[in-house]
Structure 1
Amino acid sequence: MTISAHLQELHGLPVYVFPDAGATAEAAPELPDAASVAWRITVGAYDAKETWEEAFARFLGAVDSTRVRALIVGAWPDAYESGPEAAIHAIIAARDRLPELRALFVGDIVGEECEISWIIQGPVAPLLEAFPELLEFGVRGSQQLVLPAVRHERLRSLTVESGGLRAEVVRAVAASDLPALERLDLWLGVDEYGGDATVADLAPILAGTRLPALRRLALRNSERQDEIAAAVADAPVVARLETLDLSMGTLGDEGARALLAGRPLTHLKKLDLHHHFIGEELRERLRTTLGAAGVEVDLSEVSEPDDWDDDEPHYYVAVAE
């Protein structure tokens, strides 16, 4: 129900954590080549020795920033009370010093630092405006997230991880003009944490009239996963996908039957359904039907509903709070 590990790679590069302010000259490791890693800048979520902007300023002074290709905004102080606006402003102010930046992730924060649904975000679209050459953009946490419809010519991958994604954000993504976008990953979450998006909000994406380059679609971590599966099963966009990801949610037999009865999925390279509530019979039908066509089907993490409510079984998503 929480995120326990930081990102290990971004833009195909291994993550390297820039040393914190407490590292002495003798203890500080030799820094890697600026272009060889994804740099994570982070400060203590509690009792930080410096602000995120101060750590970033040290980073700019220590690394050849003109060769940096991937940047990760890790924890900032008290992320459950304040957003990353200062960090965003600092990155934008340094854009001329980051001409090769191609990947950016805001909020690589794990549960022990701040639970995903407590992370305060803010306006992140200015980052996309400031970096027109950006290829990958991701954000974790959606509380107070402001992401209006945008146009970006080069962006290939967009990820929004949340325990509850508001409908207005989903509608904005669906209305965005992203002609190069190949991968879209939305964690839709649960009502309890603001995840009020419905299948209707996803309609422009599913209709295939937007995002002409889309090849990998993930609509996951949703308590409405059966409804989403039923809508996807008859969606025109499916015909041009290589990967379909409906994992991490409450997908059960109803959704599995819809996928088997809908548009053919045999052209897919991968169907990811991990963390699900599908019964054994339908799991076998999915494996047999799609596996015979060479589709990789991930049906791992078979879950059982909680029985704390005697009247109604409780189905849960992989990441909520």
Structure 2
Amino acid sequence: MTLVFCWLDRSFSRNCITSIADTRSAYQDGAGEWQLLNETTTKLFGLGVKCHTFDGLGLEHYRAPDPYFETEIGFAFAGYCFEALSIIALMRRCLSRLVQMDGNTEVRPTPEGYARLLDTIGTRYFASHRRREHHLVSFLMSGFSDQKPWVVEWSYRPQEGARHQVFDPITTDNFFAIGDAGKHKKTQETIDAMRKAISRHRSGLVKRFKEIDERKLEDARHVDAEKRLIERTALESLDDEFKQTVGGVLQKMEVKPMGDKAFVDFCKDDEADILDGLPMVGSNLGYIPLNESMGMGSQVQESNPEEAP
């Protein structure tokens, strides 16, 4: 049912929320066995949030003008794909048309507000969903509010209905796992233990350096080591033959602050990607992602329209 990890990453002297997930989708056959469906399923999404004033909607032209505030939040899911993607589509529609009734342009969405919206949409969606065994999805929402990082953990189960927990703000001590990652506690416990060991080692070692630059360098090395540890653990989980619902390649998303806003960036997989070598959509107008490959520095990955994906 997917593997998803999420944490606050401060490597490379920056501040961002990183989410990683596998790309496999599977289904249960008539005998109840999990069968592979696809190895390139997208499970990480960036949703745009736009806030408008009611007076400024321009209803006579059936359009929404420039919003008074906009940002982006990250969305990661685990569970049944059709159901999760349907709920994400409904959330995307609502978040792009938030309206402030009294014209107060100081109002901003809150993590708790996002969670309540997801509670209502998810509950209403499953109320008319007839296959009760498919009432099983989990989400991790992530973003920045006033440059403070936050995460919302949300789930829907047949016996429990919609549940959420808001973590606002999060710190480097927080680590989130849903899907098969959440079921296999050993994986999460291993990561937690190793992260704490790295943190203790960093705290003790950094104090030995008198020069500020040396301290910063050593601190950066430990933070980078922690990030690589998490990614390596996730990659090892993809190769676990006993996890039939986890596999494919590792996809990665980062939510980064930008003033009072945030934007979502996607990283390039180590393997060939379905978005490589896309055709131009206009004269010299095509998709070129600005991204960071797994464990590497930021780079521009150019697309070659002459090559097949």
TM-score by length of 2: 0.30
Q: Which structure shows the bigger proportion of residues in strand conformation?
A: 2
TM-score by length of 1: 0.29
